[in-house]
Amino acid sequence: MPPSAGTSLKPVKKMPAPKTLPKIGASNLTRDLDLSQDELLALLDLTQQVKAHPARFSKALAGRYLSLLFEKPSLRTRFTFELAIKQLGGDAVLSVGPIGDREPLRDVARNLDRWTNCIVARTFSQTTIDDLAHWASIPVINALSDRYHPCQALADVFTLQEKFGDLRGLKLAFIGDGNNVANSLMLSALRLGMNFAIATPAGYEPDPEIVTQAKALAAIAGAELLITNDPAQATRGAHAVYTDVWASMGQEHEKEQRRAHFAPFQVNGALWQQHAGPETIFLHCLPAKRGEEVTDEVIESQQSAVFDQAENRLHVQKALLLMLIS
């Protein structure tokens, strides 16, 4: 029977979440700080459980679907999100290409939320992620933008925790561009009590607004933040040394100019032998450009943990999906 005029319509009730899984208050991961400190710690704990006991979660997201939107290329993020949802009993639909070209982004968001349970988007601009989150009623996960790469940072801090245990007081050095990966890593590492040192060429430091946030997090956690133009200073005493490409996706036209500026920031045998320790590990989000930001000698060494990071993208994103859409 149709409702008569004046009948107040009641909102549809959401399915209750299983009591044992932690939830994310912000309902999105558009940027690292959408996760509270407690949610970040809960996510790392859940990642451990998911990695150790995958079968326990194999039906947890049955009937849930992801929209995967990629404006830029991807190997790791695309595979790990698709595998994550499938290993949790759900499925994904992939779209590659510009978002919001054929029809307004707000319409894209409001279509996808009628069919699927979560949008995972890799975009050129952070604004596109924020707009999707504004218009969609389902969670939106940033799968890399020009400004942040939160899923990468989650996998990285989880990898560091696996390698070293307690993160407080460890030193993480980032050598290279103050880019999306550096921003997310800096925010996540500092709030977990790691000391963070970043060495960039002059003019390629991280965004001042993000540095301000990082300083505040460092003060709360009692951690140190060093921003320098000296790779040796950043590397000395580091438990892990991280680098990333010198020209990110969307900056290809600056490649030649950047190559000249970044040459002294290569993570190579000389830097490693002179300034890293025997237990220091090497990290890279991948894809790597060997002979540019890193040499084969370092990335292929026994101290390299780059494929552990790549594997952990899967486990950490499974935990993230469980917290967001179960």
Q: Residues touching ligand CP: how many (CB under 6 A)?
A: 9
Q: Which is nearer to ligand NVA, 57 or 242 (CB)?
A: 242
The contact pattern for ligand NVA, residues 139-168, with x = CB under 6 A and - = no contact, is -----x------------------------
Q: Which stretch binds ligand NVA (CB under 6 A): 157-165, 215-223, 226-234, 240-248?
A: 240-248
Judge whether 253 counts as a catalytic residue: no
Residue 292 binding result from ligand NVA, ligand CP, none, given CB thresholds of 5 to 8 Å by partner type: none
Of 125-184, which residues contact ligand CP (CB under 6 A)?
A: 144, 152
Buried/exposed 234-261: b ≥16 CB within 10 Å, e otherwise: bbeebbbbbbbbbbbbeeeeeeeebeeb
- Alpha carbons 44 and 63: distance in angstroms, whole number: 25
Please report how close the Cβ of residue 37 comes to ligand NVA at its closest, in angstroms.
Answer: 25
Judge whether 149 counts as a catalytic residue: yes
Nearest Cα neighbor of 112 from 123, 99, 127, 98 is: 99
Nearest Cα neighbor of 322 from 17, 48, 40, 78 is: 17
CA dihedral 182, 208, 248, 92 (to 10 degrees): 70
Q: Which residue has the tokens 């952990």?
A: 312
Kindly report the number of other CB atoms within 10 A of residue 9's CB atom.
Answer: 6
Strand partners, 119: 67, 140
Of 257-296, which residues contact ligand CP (CB under 6 A)?
A: 285-287
Catalytic residue among 213, 285, 315, 317: 285
Any contact of residue 180 with ligand NVA (CB under 6 A)? yes
> Encoding tokens for residue 285?
């989000």
Q: Which stretch binds ligand CP (CB under 6 A): 70-78, 222-230, 233-241, 272-280?
A: 70-78
Q: Which residue is nearest to ligand CP (CB)?
A: 77
Helix (H) or strand (E) holding 173: strand 171-175
Q: Which stretch binds ligand CP (CB under 6 A): 5-13, 68-76, 111-119, 316-324?
A: 68-76
Judge whether 236 counts as a catalytic residue: no
Residues found near ligand CP in the complex (CB under 6 A): 74-77, 144, 152, 285-287
List active site positions. 122, 149, 152, 244, 285, 313
